[in-house]
Amino acid sequence: MKSVTAVINIAALKANIETIKGFTPQSKIIAVVKANAYGHGLITVAQALTDQVDAFAVARLPEAMELRAAGITKPVVLLEGFLNDEDIPTISAQGFFTAIHDMEQIEAIERTAIAKPIHAWLKIDIGMHRLGASREQVQQMKQRLEQSSKIVQPIGLISHLSVADTHGMEDYNQEQIAYFFEVAKDFTGDLCLANSAGIISWPQARTAYVRPGIIMYGISPYPDKTGPDLGLQPVMTLKSSIIAIRKVKKGDRVGYGAAWTAPYDTILGIVAAGYGDGYPRTMPNGAPVLINGRYAPTAGHVCMDMLFVDLGPESKDKIGDEAILWGQGLPVEKIPYELVCRIMPRVNMEVQA
């Protein structure tokens, strides 16, 4: 019997990249593999995709170093830039591409001794108000980068859409795209705008480089659609087994805090998966678990190592039967999708060609 296992489906991952290329055939693909490839395994994902994509993107320098240590030679983009001056020589030596979102970072590069010029993408704020040069700062930062012998020329331009997936915000999104291209008129370097929702919903945002994240993993960025609705395949399936079956009577109070009371005589399955694996303790009663081809609802509080499922009074399920918590047949968007990033270290990772 298997305990909690995250099966990573490489064929699905590769098919999703082809689907993304279908949306934006002219673009080069920067595969976003930050946060351990959204929980799917940084090196597993990068090695599977290295011949199929043009570059990788991460949030932090240690993630970029892990890619190099694993033999990945493709360009790696640091989406947040660098956090410390000490990182600048490494970025230069490794040939990483870095976002430059603040004048302070340009000054840091200028005062640091480096072996070769750095690939810089000027990051501008077009409406998110998180990172990036403001309207007032753009020209000054651009000139400063263009004049620097420590920067590879021509510099690129990068930005991020804040409402590409938000219904009712289409005008604000259009405004952001229009402003990006207004600034871009003066740039001869590479342009990079669209993330997942930009790629799917906004043809104008399909720049020379695009940065798909969540859709690579087969997950929809929209609240009202699943990955399969968009032609994507779930890459991670999290599953475990039923390790005990028990009958309860109407009125029996189940689990910690007696948080679920059986509304009828029924049969419970005890599944070996809990918050120690990354299935949240706060999950409400009734979350779906896929068992023998049907959705069965969870019952009571999720424990550290186990959870309860109401299999129903007619259940024929047996000890050892598989319980799928999300993935194939149960899109993780039906649970909350950020859970793929929260798998705990004790979960077995199984790579399936």
Ligand X SMILES: *Cc1c(COP(=O)(O)O)cnc(C)c1O
Which residues in the 27-46 window bind ligand X by CB under 6 A?
32, 34
Query: Using CA atoms, how far apart are residues 268 and 242, in angstroms rounded to an integer?
Result: 10
Choose one: 205-213, 253-261, 296-304, 330-338; the region binding ligand X (CB under 6 A). 205-213
How many whole angstroms separate alpha carbon 139 and alpha carbon 145? 10
Among 92, 173, 196, 298, binds ligand X (CB under 6 A): 196
Is 16 or 195 the residue whose CB approaches ligand X more closely? 195
Cis-peptide, bond into residue 154, ω within 30° of zero: yes
For residue 71, the tally of other CB atoms under 10 A from its CB is: 10
Per DSSP, 260 falls in state E
Comparison of 212 and 227: residue with beta carbon closer to ligand X? 212
Q: Which residues does residue 157 pair with via DSSP β-bridges, in sequence order? A: 122, 191
Q: Residue 150 catalytic?
A: no
Residue with tokens 């909350």: 336
Candidate segments 64-72, 108-116, 181-189, 210-218, binder of ligand X by CB under 6 A: 210-218
Which one of 14, 34, 142, 150 is the catalytic residue?
34
Count of residues in contact with ligand X, rule CB under 6 A: 11
Which position among 213, 227, 255, 327 is part of the footprint of ligand X (CB under 6 A)? 213
Check: CB of residue 226 under 8 Å from CB of residue 40: no
Closest-approach residue to ligand X (CB): 213
Q: Is 5 helix (H, G, I), strand (E, B) or coil?
A: strand
Q: Is 119 in the site for ligand X (CB under 6 A)?
A: no
Q: What is the distance between the alpha carbons of residues 215 and 16, in angstroms, rounded to a whole number? A: 7
Q: Which is nearer to ligand X, 221 or 274 (CB)?
A: 221
Q: How far is CA 166 from CA 26, 43, 169, 257, 309, in A?
A: 25, 32, 6, 38, 34
| The one catalytic residue among 116, 172, 250, 256 | 256
- In the complex, least distance from residue 159 CB atom to ligand X, rounded to whole angstroms: 8
Q: Is 79 in the site for ligand X (CB under 6 A)?
A: yes
Q: Which of 211, 220, 232, 317 binds ligand X (CB under 6 A)?
A: 211
| DSSP code string of 164-225 | TT-TT-HHHHHHHHHHHHHHHTT--S-EE---HHHHHH-GGG--SEE---GGGGT--SSTT-
Establish if 5 lies at the interface with ligand X (CB under 6 A).
no
Stretches 1-9, 213-221, 255-263, 290-298: which one binds ligand X (CB under 6 A)? 213-221
| Site pattern 154..193 for ligand X (x: CB under 6 A) | ------x---------------------------------
Residue with tokens 């395949």: 233
| Catalytic-residue membership of 256 | yes
The DSSP element (H or E) to which 144 belongs, if any, is helix 138-147
The amino acid present at 21, given as its one-letter code, is K
Active site residues: 34, 256
Give the binding site for ligand X (CB under 6 A).
32, 34, 79, 160, 195-196, 211-214, 221
